[in-house]
Every structure is written in C-alpha cells, then in structure tokens.
Amino acid sequence: MLTRKQHELLRFIQARLEESGISPSFEEMKEALDLKSKSGVHRLISALEERGFIRRLPNRARALEVLRQPDDSNNKGQDTTATSGDLAALRKPGKVSEPANDVIEIPLHGRIAAGVPIEALEGQSTLPVPAALLGSGEHYALEVSGDSMIEAGILDGDFALVKRTNAARDGEIVVALVRGEEATLKYLRREAGMVRLDPANAAYEPQIYDANDVQVQGKLAGLLRRYN
C-alpha cells in the first residue's frame, strides 16, 4: 500500500507525462506536494522505485517512467486529492508515457560534407542529445563540414541529427550516399530518372547523378550547435 504522498507523487508524474511527455523536475514535484525540501522528493521516488511503480531510465538525465498504477483497492480511504493544477488535469491511469526532457546517446558517425561530397560514417562514438529534438525511429548524428547549406541555417561544425531511412520526399534535406563511397547533406530532387542534390548556398551548383548512383541514408531531423 502506498502512502498518501507516494500516491500523490505517482499521480503527478503520470499526469505530467501524459500531458506533455516531459517528466517533472524535482523542484516541481516538491512544490506540487508542498514539501519543504527536495530530499523528501528523493525519498518518495526511491520508495516508488523499490515498489516497482516507477523506474529511472538509464543514460537519461532526470527521466522517470511510470510502470504501473496502484490497485484502487489499495487506496481506499486515502486522500488522493490533487495538490496542484497539474493534478487536476489527470487522465486515465495506467498509460505508460515516454519522457521527452531527458538526454539520450545516439551514434556519432564522423563528418559529412555540406559542400563537395566527402567520405562519411568513419568510426563511431556517441553524442548526447535532448530527446525532445528527436521523434520516433532510429537516429544518428554527423558533424557538418562546409558551408553549402548555410542558407538553410546549417553551418560548418553543426551536428546534423539524422533519422535513419532510405526513403525521402522531394525537397527534404537528406544524407545522400553517392556511388557507395561519399556522403553529402543536401536537398533531394528527382527529375527524369536523375537525382539532383541541391545546396542552400548560391555559390554552389547542384550536383546531378544517375538515380542508381545515389542512396538515401537518412533525412535531417534536427541540429545541434555548440557555442564556444
């Protein structure tokens, strides 16, 4: 059986996840439950985790997942009144939601040209990325080299976040593998059995290839930029 505060916290976390996909911060949990310190939140979280109601997701900062809700019979007679406006927005219990405010590690594959194609996918490390920047599917990152996509806001040294796919529509920014050896980041266009890879910089000319020479390896899902 959960205590009143444990049950309120579980409902608060669930409500936030269902509402926005974002797990609440410890400060938000402290205020919602009217606790005096974050240490009280830590104790409640640990108790819920030990009892199998929640879990902390690995490799993700401050990420919680609700695994189950307590049986109604276990909470008879308990005061489970919402303690904030967020609790008032509770939906049906039992839905497991994936938080989106945490950080996940995705593969980082070398550098990719935003200019003349260069060899990509050299070696592999990882890059921490806010989960909110990524949608569904498998993703990887490439460091951008060159300036041919600057008019699309893609600069030299940026990290392109790429959704792995071999299909893309005309006008989408893709990672295109040319003749199985070189990769580039460009707008994709198809015309008369050919593939045109368009830059976003007036100083560069489009690159035109036979359709069989170009393989789409992903499409741009987002960007990360470091400011030194």
The conformational region for residue 150 under phi > 0 = left, psi -120 to 50 = alpha, else beta, is alpha
Of 225, 224, 184, 226, nearest to 208 (Cα)? 184
For residue 151, which phi and psi values (nearest 5 degrees)? -75, -10
Residue 148 a catalytic site member: yes
Cβ–Cβ < 8 Å for 168, 161: no
The helix/strand/coil state of 43 is helix
Strand ranges (E), the chain: 54-56, 64-66, 103-113, 125-130, 139-145, 159-163, 173-178, 182-191, 194-198, 207-210, 214-224
Cβ–Cβ < 8 Å for 16, 23: yes
Cβ–Cβ < 8 Å for 202, 217: no
- DSSP sequence for 91-130: --TT-----SSSEEEEEEEEEEESSS-B----S-EEEEEE
Choosing from 97, 148, 163, 219, the catalytic residue is: 148
DSSP class of 181: T
The residues that are catalytic are: 148, 186
